[in-house]
Amino acid sequence: MKKIKINDITIRDIFQNTELEYLDTGILDTILEEMNGIKYDSLEVLGGSSFEKILDSSLGMVPLDIISYIKNRIPSTPLQVLIGARNLGGLEVYPKDIIERFVKQCKEKGIDIFRVYDSLNDTDNLKYTISAVIENKADCQGTIIYDELQNNSFYIKTAKKLKSNGCSSICIKDVESVILPKKAAELFKNLSSEIDIPILFSATDLRGLQILNYFEACRNGCDGVDLSLLPSSYNDCSPTVFSFILSLNDTDISHNLDYSKIIQLSETIKRNIYPIIKQDTFSTKFILNNTNKNLLPKWLISNIGNQLAEIGETESMDSVLEEISTIKNELGSPSLATPLGQIIGSQAILNAVISDSRWEIMCDEIKKLINGYFGKIPRKIDKKILEKLKSIPEEEKSAVINEVEDIYPGCKSELEKLSGREEDILSYCFFPEKTRKFLEEKKAGIKKPYMEKNTGAAETGITFKRRKSDPMAKLHNLDVRKIREITSLVESSNIEEIKLEVEGVKISINNPKFRSTGHDNTREKMPEQLPEKKSEDIIEVRSPIVGTFYAAPTPDSPPFVKVGDRIKKGDTLCIIEAMKLMNKINADHEGQLTDILVSNENAVEFDQVLMVIKEDKK
């Protein structure tokens, strides 16, 4: 009887899809202890956005430390990590030195299997990382992102190439939930007849087809699948583990899992983790009406939802999702795996919400993608898009840039006052701002408050509360959006003041149109301010998007510009970071910089004035 390998991704899902301020090491230890005896073939503990989100958690560890923490508690089960071939756990393309250091650290911390993918399925991008894994005596699982526009021969050819490069197993990863059961059966039947190393399948349940896809794949040669005790669909709040195991009854396929212990672990997960699953993914009209189109991964919809909420455009969600589909087709149908999902999502917001017309503004990462920086795009790019990049020579448009700047020495130098640990420096290479903040708080002895379960709550209604020592405990329950709505109403009316009491917290909202006279809190209406008339040669540089303002390319670099500088058309003035993408703001006019109105690393709103330039008279 054939036994299917089960790779459990519950831990990665917890790090990636829950509110981590509610998770403490006590809850994590309980989950790991119960996992220890289930006999999983492997546990995927990190991958995707989980690297970054761990830095926002209350666990007090950088991502690499999480690996050894888990390995110490589950020593007998192989641990696995999902990494991009050149972007590893971040969003940039990293040099060979960082790839070597990262792989070595992961192996030393306890990773046994590296699931390595490239979002463009460019096997040239995979070579070096595969060799780094093999040099560290770990198993490398070459991963092919499923592309419904490719035929089965593409997967056979790519799998053979990955094997020849040293991969000990192959994984087909359906990022956008596009594969159908019949296709899954055909694909794995063909692969298993041509490939003599284990072939695994990783699929989400965005369309509710995961079990059918897994069943058909396993009946036709698939050697293993990914399962999680967290739901992976948009709507269903139940994991597919139990249904999949049930589907194998009365077949010649079995597994090694201890079913009774899975039930016990599932109850622990439901009790402690389900209440903190992010509820910001939802079924939009786009999802319900486009069942035959590629669907966005849950993490990407969450990122887009957060970005639209920041600029007050949540009602634009459907148009942005439709725009992502359009951009994807225009750019040669690359996958939406990290980092391309974030890049295309950012451009979709620019096209559908920010710009007056599509492609009026093009983010730098899209230019890099078209120029081949991330690898070879699988199909031709729309000619209209290429016309937007006339400055790029035609012969360079598909050139793969293999060499990138080694940032490790600079990052080490920037961090020397906070840490010399390689684990921290690598984290800083990937996520500089968050890692610096994490290390500064750690050095100062500041611990992030986390939530603990209210043990008096009924089993059917789990609630959480902050520690009693936390002075902000009552504020946690306030609906900030409602407060903002009330504030906006007050400011747009002739109401002087509203006083509220919510959850024992007293709040006073004053209208800025009125000012205190200094006598018994009496207030008088402020005179309406007339807009200041601007000189015709004064140019206001405005932010094209909500984000974070950076005056310099790195924390230790000089600013791009200073007040008094002569500005030429095309000069870089600053960077606005949005959705993890760095967007350069370039000058459209020549003149003298007379004012900078934003401080470095400050948040900025859409259309906020950043700088003022006095334009040269013609």
| 543-553: pLDDT as tens digits | 888 788 999 88
Residues 592-604 have a mean pLDDT of 90
Give the least confident one: 208-217, 257-266, 433-442, 472-481.
472-481
Instruction: Tell me, yes or no, whether 115 and 195 share the same domain.
Output: yes
Residue 185 region, left (φ>0) first, then alpha (ψ -120 to 50), else beta?
Answer: alpha
Instruction: Assess contact for 292 and 325: CB atoms under 8 A.
Output: no
Instruction: Tell me, yes or no, whether 367 and 324 share the same domain.
Output: yes
Over residues 267-282, the pLDDT tens digits come to 999 999 988 887 654 4
Query: In this structure, are strands 79-84 and 111-117 parallel, antiparallel, or unpaired?
Result: parallel
Please give the tally of structural domains in the chain.
5
Instruction: Tell me, yes or no, whether 186 and 60 share the same domain.
Output: yes
Instruction: Tell me, yes or no, whether 228 and 321 share the same domain.
Output: no
The residue among 364, 396, 428 that closes a domain is: 396
Give the least confident one: 48-52, 96-100, 474-478.
474-478
Distance CA 309, CA 3 (A): 47
Instruction: Assess contact for 102 and 108: CB atoms under 8 A.
Output: no
> Is the pLDDT higher at 513 or at 80?
80
How high is the pLDDT of residue 466? 35
DSSP state of 519: S
Using DSSP's 3-state secondary structure scheme, residue 468 falls into coil
DSSP state of 333: -
Give the least confident one: 414-428, 560-574, 604-618.
604-618
Residue 576 has pLDDT above 70, yes or no: yes
Instruction: Tell me, yes or no, whether 142 and 58 share the same domain.
Output: yes
The residue among 223, 250, 276 that closes a domain is: 276
How high is the pLDDT of residue 484? 55
DSSP state of 227: E
Query: In this structure, are strands 451-453 and 464-466 parallel, antiparallel, or unpaired?
Result: antiparallel
* Alpha helical stretches, state H, 18-90: 25-35, 50-54, 63-73
Residue 268 lies in a domain: yes
CA distances from 478 to 466, 496, 503 (A): 13, 23, 8
Count of CB atoms situated within 10 Å of the CB of 461: 8
Residue 470 has pLDDT above 90, yes or no: no
> Is the pLDDT higher at 409 or at 525?
409
Residue 596 lies in a domain: yes
Instruction: Assess contact for 355 and 361: CB atoms under 8 A.
Output: yes
Instruction: Tell me, yes or no, whether 236 and 339 share the same domain.
Output: no
pLDDT band (50, 70, 90) for residue 467: very low
Tokens 């709507």 belong to 235
Q: Which two tokens stand for residue 564?
A: 């008094």
Instruction: Tell me, yes or no, whether 177 and 59 share the same domain.
Output: yes
How high is the pLDDT of residue 455? 36
Range of the domain at 515: 478-525
How high is the pLDDT of residue 211? 93
Instruction: Tell me, yes or no, whether 193 and 215 share the same domain.
Output: yes
Residue 263 lies in a domain: yes
Residue 317 lies in a domain: yes
Residue 402 lies in a domain: no
Instruction: Tell me, yes or no, whether 216 and 301 share the same domain.
Output: no
Residue 456 has pLDDT above 80, yes or no: no
Residue 457 lies in a domain: no
Instruction: Tell me, yes or no, whether 482 and 558 share the same domain.
Output: no
Residues 63-76 have a mean pLDDT of 95
Instruction: Tell me, yes or no, whether 511 and 588 share the same domain.
Output: no
Residue 467 lies in a domain: no
Which domain CATH number covers 552? 2.40.50.100
Instruction: Tell me, yes or no, whether 318 and 429 share the same domain.
Output: no
The residue among 525, 550, 581 that closes a domain is: 525
How high is the pLDDT of residue 313? 85
Residue 454 lies in a domain: no
How high is the pLDDT of residue 402? 46
